[in-house]
Chain A
Amino acid sequence: MTQNTPPSEPLGTPAHASPQGPAPHGHAGHGSDGAGPGAQSLAVPDAAAPTSPAAPAAGIVAEHVSRAFGSVQAVADLSFTAPRGAVTALVGPNGCGKSTLMLMLASLLAPDAGRVLVGGVDPAQDSPAVRATVGWMPDQFGAWDSLRVSEVLEVMGRAYFLPAAQLRGRVDELLELLDLVPLAQQPAHVLSRGQKQRLGLARALVHDPQVLILDEPASGLDPASRRRLLQVVRSRAADGATVLVSSHILGELEEMSDHVVFMDGGRVVDASSIRALAARPRPWRISSLHHQALGEALAHLQVRHGEVVPADRTSSGHAEVLVELPDEATASRLLADLTAAGAQVIGFGPATGRLEAAYLASDAAQREGAL
């Protein structure tokens, strides 16, 4: 049984669109072992962690799922797996089929072909069983006119047939959890976008679902609410729930999730664990007290680099340069060498998050002219 939790499986589809093109990161002096991780290196070291030997591997499985709306093919032959007890991020440009996929997982939409399994159950076979385990938060919040915030949660609890005795406590618990107590008696439709998002999350949690599907939960949230969202999502995953979350705020998503699935044009174009993304090339920003020292050190080490921007042209007040590096090990060696070469380094770190770097390297980002 434990063998059925294959560590490399959760990210099913191989990355056939390799995001790292002709990587411009020579860095000759530093043994260029990081030739870019191939599709094989999608190992998920932490995913296995089976809390109990009987725990099934995947909370969500999509197998060759397709769905079209009229002539628009929203999802095309998509396969991926999201493991239990972990947060899986869904990243892709607008209209790439994320929401459609989530509708299918929430048992609202039937795929044209292929199938999805949520908690091992196909919604086409037994929709109520799937709906009992899934908490779905749509990207657009529909509010009932004139229902108060606490009443919305109460109605949702009833809609999941929670016992009346349990309901009251559950509603209070959720109001507390998502900082909605001061808003409890407000009509739901007058809430701000961020407040509605919190209510939407509370609504999705009302029946303590084992699978949580969140469609852009962070949009419109203030920083404190985002921390709260992060905590809620992490604690749900720690309790063994399967969490699938889509967002365009990649920094936040990186902090929140264990795995990432990149979508484009209705397909999975890449999948990885966040941890494995560290072994991918991304730009690093090196700042120095002296731009000439930095430039000379880089030249000495024969590192291919961008323009060294002098201190008077940067917002930080330091001389800065961007260097494309294949992985973190290389970065570490470069830092040591730069220090040794007297580059007066004052800052050395990734210029973008791992997720962002991976996303920006994808075809979708190239197409949209982000670079």
Chain B
Amino acid sequence: MSTPPTPGTGPTGAGTTSAGATDAGTTGAGTTGAGTMATAPADPGPSAGGAGARPAGPRPRGRGTFALRLRGLRLVTSLELRQRLRSKRWYVALTMWTLVMLGIGGLGLAPTLYSAQWDSVGPIAAMVFSLQMILVLFAMLLVVPALSAGSINGDRTAGTLATLQASLLSPAEIVLGKLLAGFLTGLAFLVLALPSVVPIALLGGVGLLYMLRLLLVIIVLTLCVTAVGLGLSALTSRQLGSVVLAYVIVFGVTVVLPIAWGSSAVVLNEEREVTSYYTVWDDESGSVPDRCEAETVRETVPRLDLSLPLLWGNPVVLLAEAAPPLPQDYWTTGDDADLLSMLKSGMRSAATATHPSHAVYCDPSTPGYPTDLGTPPNRPVWPMGLGLWVLAGALSLVVAIRRLAVPIRRLGAGTRIA
């Protein structure tokens, strides 16, 4: 619509319009004491001042969109939290949560105490503890998406988002304030879950550092899932849509992708050279094993390490990564290990490429038994997993902030600003 200046008014009218407009631009900055205006490079200059002429070049997108002030952040967070603190259903939810978590704790504790002798209660308690931490993680994953995934589009429907957007709060303050509020609520849930795991942790003699590492993983996941939920709620117009989508993502990562990973074993096979060690009998009678001999054959080996990225973001895998490694002599003694440790070592071996491959069929007492086949690389999974989550969370936040940037250029179908 770049029609020439004012088709109706004639040349003099157009002249006054442009002069008036640019004049308003310059004097406005000086007279109307709004401090920020003085710094505005907004004045397009006399050349662009003509009616209908659009400022040349790309417009700076959403000035001040990413501005972040502590007061603004605190305001949005307190606004969100205040609404939750005042509604009864949140107290109902928290009470229900505490009761369910205590029930789970009791369910773990009772059989442990019942079945084990007092001197051997430790290992069993440690095992039950790891199981309970997984349950706590699942419970958190059930709750956390609901904390933020309906936040932005819910406010949009209620008509309160535009009010905040029209104020001096920056989009970054609105989004991060909401993130903080959702995160703090998540932490409250986590704190309320602790009473159910602490007794069994004490019984099992679980190290404090181990416990803290597990909590840290859950906390980081809470933060990232909250952020992803916010991004979804900024993108979709309906609250229900974004909440369901958030659950689909969490469920997909937690359940569907592991199944896909397992199924990939069918496809991901490779013909490779495998070194097998067989016992060779020299004498004809075949009574005394003589020596262990290597033989190289071609075999089909699974390559589950290739599809392992499917499991990087899995919350349970990430939780297991915080567990201590299995004791060296675990496979001979078979005790003093918990579920998470086993899961961790399982994942680490799955992460290791199956080549060079060795298959040893000899008895360890046979001469020539291969004592050193090299150490597996023991690659950690958590840097990739947490990296993925942090990346997804950060990306979601940026998307949410950009979606809230005003003036809004593109509006989702069916959404109203106010």
Q: Which residues of A contact B (CB under 8 A)?
A: 1, 4-6, 9, 12-14, 16, 39, 54-58, 61, 63-64, 66, 69-70, 77, 79, 99, 103-104, 106-110, 112-115, 117, 119-129, 131-134, 136, 138-147, 155-156, 158-161, 203, 207, 210
Contacts and interface: CB of A to CB of B under 8 A. Distances in A.
Nearest to B50: A63
A127 B407 CA distance: 7
B288 interface: no
A316 to B, nearest CB: 43
A115 B72 CA distance: 29
3 closest Cβ pairs, A-B complex = A142-B159, A120-B28, A159-B167
Contacts of B167: 131, 156, 159-160
16 contacts: A6-B20, A56-B20, A63-B21, A77-B3, A109-B406, A119-B28, A122-B44, A127-B64, A129-B42, A131-B168, A132-B34, A133-B34, A143-B159, A145-B158, A147-B79, A159-B75
A125 B59 contact: yes
B75 to A, nearest CB: 5
Nearest to B33: A210
Contacts of A120: 21, 23-29
Given A64-B3, A142-B418, A160-B167, A104 B407 contact: yes
Contacts of B166: 106-108, 131, 134, 136
B32 A128 contact: no
Question: Interface size for chain B: under 10, 10 to 19, 20 to 34, or 35 or more residues?
Answer: 35 or more
Contacts of A140: 159, 418
B409 interface: yes
Contacts of A99: 418
Interface string B9-25: 10001001101110111
A54 to B, nearest CB: 6
B158 A142 contact: yes
B411 to A, nearest CB: 7
B20 A57 contact: yes
B163 A161 contact: no
A155 B79 contact: yes
Of residues A16, A64, A107, A114, which shows the largest number of chain B Cβ atoms within 10 Å of its Cβ?
Answer: A64
Interface of B: 1-3, 6, 8-9, 13, 16-17, 19-21, 23-32, 34, 36-37, 40-42, 44, 51-52, 54-55, 59-60, 62-64, 67, 69, 71-72, 75, 79, 82-83, 86-87, 155, 158-170, 406-409, 411, 413, 417-418
Contacts, number: 217
B52 to A, nearest CB: 4
A57 B22 CA distance: 11
B76 to A, nearest CB: 9
A14 B14 CA distance: 12
A227 to B, nearest CB: 26
Contacts of B79: 144, 147, 155
Contacts of B55: 115, 122, 124-125
B418 A121 contact: no
A161 B159 contact: no
